[in-house]
Amino acid sequence: MTSEEIRQKFLDFFEQRGHKIVPSASLIPSTYGDEGTLFTTAGMQPMIPYLLGKAHPEGVRIADVQKCLRTIDIDDVGDNRHNTFFEMLGNWSLGDYFKAESIPWSFDFLTNKEYGLGLDPARFYVTVFKGQEATAEGGASIPRDEESIKIWQEVFAKYNISNEVAGEDGVVKEGVRIIPLGVDDNFWIAGNSGPCGGDTEIFYDVYPNDKVGRANPEGNFNDLVDSFRLIEVWNNVFMEYNKTTEGKYEPLAAKNVDTGMGLERTTAVVNGKDNIFETDLFAPILSEIKQQVANFDVKASRIVADHVRTAVFMIADGVTPSNTDRGYILRRIIRRAVRYADSMQADNEVLSKVAYIVIEKYKKVYPELEQNREQIFTELNKEEEKFRKTLEQGLKEFERGQDPFDLYQTFGFPIELTEELAQERGITIDRKKFDEQMIEHQAISKAGSEQKFKGGLAEHSEQTIKYHTATHLLHSALRQVLGKEVGQKGSNITDERLRFDFAWPNKLTDAQKIEVEKIVNDSISANLPVCRIELSKEEAEKTGALHFFGEKYGDTVSVYYIGDGIDDAVSKEFCGGPHVKNTGALGHFKITKEEASSAGVRRIKAILE
């Protein structure tokens, strides 16, 4: 089944059930501002005003296919499932139907062979919200979603499938199909208060017994997901509460349903593929790349395919390469594509040749690609030519051991590219030192301006400054939970997330991650001041302020501490700044991923909601 057929089947299915079909919103959010996001990162994002109570002009039942862009996992592009541009199929009920309709409809569409996707009903597993008990710190209780559990049991029984519910340990065994999980896995809220509710996620067993001879999946549910045995294909969010600023959960008068299904991943699952790049969404693009290079490489070709596809959609929606905000992200994506194309000895102007295939593939669904065809080619060719000049000189200087900051400042050589080149050669880049040099550079260039650190380079927008402060809190929380042997090994911050590498030999348990999040959010809720003090290096070390990477410091150093005083501060580190003035500005801290980075080093990715 092609991706075009899946899109159309989805829209037809919900149109026949009273939904109005609306076109995709732009990748550029209409609400962008100081507190907004640079891009549409989720299918529900354009729907937020209507989920919060505003009347939708098309009524109370809506369905669409939404363009989305997310770079939080850009380093993982090239594996079997990560990409930067993606499409989300979604249907919404705005105070109309609820769980009793939404859950059976989802399963019907996924399994029906005539008007749906025809997937095997016996290969599905689902998660539901297991509830939350009241906490000693004043957190309100939320009941277990017994209604969704009952509906799922009825759905599975209708198909003569076992429908047992897993215990508190979340272990899957014979007969178990329904797995209750906690707040981190199956509860949705934007920020600290407002409309919220539990969700139910639908997973498909991609390695059934009749395919590879494996037994039915057994073991801890999250381990089965991490091993890619079970793949999430759909998520239904049931917004039935309003969380007050005092932490209470009150029933909403009008309950909403918000669903999302990723087209790329669903297309792979429907066609029995173990990765998204073997689907028709990417096959013609990869075929063109293969014709344009002399030394084809699977991972490099996937990165080029993903990045060119993303760049085409960004330019069509009005983004052009620059050194700030959205333009910087586009520039980074294009230049990564050039870098990986060159690693395969690609022909000149390879990006525009690949872009032609992307436009042809998508122009019927997204006519803006055809309408902006010439602009797309112009921007890609111009940026590719500009970067090749930068690349030639920058590579020479890199081989001579030039400082990463000098490479950026003098040659416009992106730090991300320097990191990739260094990794290929087994060299460690001191990213923290680079970030502090950039911060100092930004401070000088913006000195005297009331908009200091705002609207400048993408790494130092208001949002990245928040993430910089949150990284200090995360580091401190990890040391409290795991021990003083935890040490920072690297960090990377964008407008969308923070990434923090630290020395630790083992995977964090769910309980440890929850405790880390709690410590960070407690510090945020306490509205602690963030202070800077200059001390001699010797005096600074006596305060217990952390410093790593074997850096060389002058006689006087800058220390940032979080708290009323440096002696009892929750965090204190040698740092060049900048930071927020008060932790209350950060919002809600949430860990989105914890994984191995290298031997003895773990990596956490987190967001501020």
Q: pLDDT at position 4, please? A: 97
Max Cα–Cα distance, the chain, nearest Å: 75
3-state secondary structure of 434: helix
Percent of the chain clearing pLDDT 90 (strictly above)? 48
In terms of DSSP bridges, do strands 498-503 and 488-493 run parallel, antiparallel, or are they unpaired? antiparallel
Position with higher pLDDT, 50 vs 201: 201
**Joined tokens for residue 571:** 């965090």
Sign, CA torsion 432/437/442/444: positive
Instruction: Please name every residue paired with 196 in a beta bridge, in sequence order, or none if there are none.
Output: 189, 241
* Separation of alpha carbons 161 and 177, rounded Å: 9
As separate numbers, helices (DSSP H) first and strands (DSSP E) second, the chain gives 20, 19
411 or 179: which carries more pLDDT confidence? 179
Percent above pLDDT 70 for the chain = 89
For 95-129, the pLDDT digits (tens) are 999 999 999 999 999 999 999 999 999 999 999 99
Distance CA 424, CA 404 (A): 15
**Model pLDDT, residue 578:** 77
Beta pairing partners, 203: 125, 232
Question: Going along 537-570, which residue ranges are E strands?
Answer: 556-562
Q: Which residues neighbour 496 within 8 Å (Cβ) at sequence distance 6 or greater?
A: 37, 38, 41, 70, 71, 72, 607
**Confidence tier at 57 by pLDDT (50, 70, 90):** very high
pLDDT above 70: residue 34: no
- CATH code of 458-608, in short, is 3.30.980.10
How far apart are the C-alpha atoms of 501 and 602, rounded to whole Å? 6
Is the distance from CB of 61 to CB of 11 less than 8 angstroms?
Answer: no
Residue pair 81/39 in contact by the 8 Å Cβ criterion: no
Check whether 355 has a pLDDT greater than 50.
Answer: yes
**424 vs 177, which has greater pLDDT?**
177
pLDDT computed for residue 176 by the predictor: 94
**What pLDDT is recorded for position 175?**
92
Instruction: Calculate mean pLDDT across residues 538-557.
Output: 71
Query: pLDDT tens across 271-329, in order?
Result: 998 889 999 999 999 999 999 999 999 999 999 999 999 999 999 999 999 877 788 88
| Cα–Cα dist 126/149, whole Å | 9
Provide the pLDDT for residue 450.
Answer: 27
Query: What is the residue extent of each domain of the chain?
Result: 3-278, 283-417, 458-608
H-only helix segments in 400-461: 404-411, 415-424, 431-445
Compute the mean pLDDT over every residue in the chain, rounded to the nearest whole number: 85
More confident residue, 312 or 597: 312
DSSP-derived 3-state class of residue 313:
helix
Between CA 240 and CA 147 the distance in angstroms is 12
Q: What's domain 3-278's superfamily in CATH?
A: Bira Bifunctional Protein; Domain 2 (3.30.930.10)
Reported as a pLDDT band with limits 50, 70 and 90, residue 173 is very high
Residue 192 has what pLDDT?
Answer: 67
Looking at residue 347, its pLDDT comes to 85
Cβ proximity of 251 and 240 under 8 Å: yes
What is the per-residue pLDDT across 387-408, written as a single tens digit (0 to 9) for each? Answer: 887 777 777 777 777 777 777 7
Between CA 538 and CA 544, with CA 543 as vertex, the angle to 5 degrees is: 100
The beta strands (E) that lie in 320-472 are given as none
**What's the pLDDT tens digit per position in 523-545?**
999 889 888 888 887 888 888 88
Confidence of residue 601 (pLDDT cuts 50, 70, 90): confident
* CA 507/CA 112 separation, integer angstroms: 40
Residue tagged 């065809």 (tokens) = 373
Residue 596, beta-bridge partner list: 602
Among 187, 185, 189, 259, CA closest to 222? 185
pLDDT in tens, 201-217: 999 998 876 555 667 88
Given a cut of 90, whether residue 496 has pLDDT beyond it is no
pLDDT digits (tens, 9 = 90+) for 430-475: 777 777 776 665 554 443 322 222 222 244 567 888 898 999 999 9
Instruction: Tell me the range of 9-13, 159-163, 205-209, 227-231 where mean pLDDT is highest.
Output: 9-13
